[in-house]
Amino acid sequence: MIRLVALGEPLVQLNAVTPGPLRYVNYFERHIAGSEANFCVAAVMAGASCGLIARVGDDEFGKAVLEYLRGRGVDVSRVRVDGGAPTGIYFVQRHYPVPGRSVLVYYRRGSAGSRLSPEDVDVQYVKSADAVHSTGITLAISESAREAVYLAFEHAARRTFDTNIRPALWPSPEAAREAVLRALRGGVEILFTDPDDTRIVLGVSDPDEAYRRYRELGVEVLVYKEGARGAYVFHDGGKYFRRAYAVPVEDPTGAGDAMAGYFAALYLSRTPPERALDLAAAASTLVVTVRGDNEAVPTPADAERLLSSL
């Protein structure tokens, strides 16, 4: 079984039960999310093992994160409980101002998760994994978290990375660009990204041009997500496009993480990239049909059922 490790902040998500501006939303549904936690759940669903390196607060929400992720089969043995700061939370505003899209409103500055630091990186644990994953979110939340990612990447056998640039978390696009380019420097085997992030990182958004440029930076496999249109996988000089399925969208948050966790787990266990992308696209399709970032990630058999129903 492929063994993955991810670094990043797990968060409590308060998802608006009704669509529209948050100021008129009276009910929220609580979920456990955070990009790398979502990645781990998806990887486990796809048949890998995944451990999370993170911090949570010594509070009820921190307990909820640990119990939920443990229950989903994620190894939380390297999630440290930090009594000095609270577990981070965020709200999801749905279908407003753009129908079909969500807006994330963070209350996480100074959170326990953002205090992730190189001290939390158990080098032996990292070295024993087949691959280490992180995202631009972890690079953004604090300098110590960013250094933790660079340290883990230095010791990783293989690296996977999702640019996940959340403009609300960065002082400027240039800061994001610089941090992402540094993460790519040691050689990332699978890069997950999209046109918006690639415009920031490379100044281009055409998928073929993006592949050419990322390849020069050492990326072997590029998963280029074009949202509601579909996604490409580029590898060995070739490309394959998977059109997205048209489904009713409840909340697209977490779709990219489902695709990344699923794809990484399958590809690294030697599933051909085209097949891995088909199944990963099925996983991310199901995620957008519900609130919550990871509850609807399917088993491979259910992903297959969706693929064969189309």
Q: CB-based burial of residue 248 (10 Å sphere; 0-12 exposed, 13-18 middle, 19+ buried)?
A: exposed
Helices 207-216/195-202 angle, 10° precision? 50
Residue whose CB is less far from ligand KDG, 165 or 235: 165
Q: Judged by CB under 6 A, does residue 252 bind ligand KDG?
A: no
CB of 174 to ligand KDG, least distance (A): 20
Considering only 2, 4, 11, 268, the residue that binds ligand KDG (CB under 6 A) is: 11
Stretch that binds ligand KDG, among 15-23, 29-37, 57-65, 77-85 (CB under 6 A): 29-37
203 Rama sector, left if φ>0, alpha if ψ -120 to 50, beta otherwise: left
Closest approach of ligand KDG to the CB of residue 214, in Å: 20
Smallest distance, ligand KDG to C-beta of residue 34, A: 4
Number of residues that bind ligand KDG (CB under 6 A): 14
Contact of 176 with 170, CB cutoff 8 Å: yes
Q: Is 196 a catalytic residue?
A: no
Q: Which stretch binds ligand KDG (CB under 6 A): 67-75, 142-150, 186-194, 249-257?
A: 249-257
257 binds ligand KDG (CB under 6 A): yes
Contacts (CB under 6 A) with ligand KDG, residues 98-137: 104, 137
What does the alpha-carbon distance between residue 33 and residue 35 come to, in Å, rounded to a whole number? 7
The distance between the two most distant Cα atoms of the chain, rounded to a whole number of Å, is 51
Which of positions 57-86 make contact with ligand KDG (CB under 6 A)?
Answer: none
Minimum CB distance to ligand KDG, residue 293 (Å): 5
Q: Which is nearer to ligand KDG, 161 or 235 (CB)?
A: 161
CB of 137 to ligand KDG, least distance (A): 4
Query: Which entry of 75, 257, 278, 293 is annotated as an active-site residue?
Result: 257
Identity of the residue, 86 or 254, whose beta carbon is nearer to ligand KDG in the bound complex: 254
- Residue 254 as a binder of ligand KDG (CB under 6 A): the answer is yes
Residue 34 vs 207, nearer CB to ligand KDG? 34
- Sign of the torsion angle spanned by Cα atoms 189, 50, 55, 57: positive
Q: Which residues bind ligand KDG (CB under 6 A)?
A: 11, 33-35, 38, 90, 104, 137, 166, 253-254, 256-257, 293
Active site residues: 257
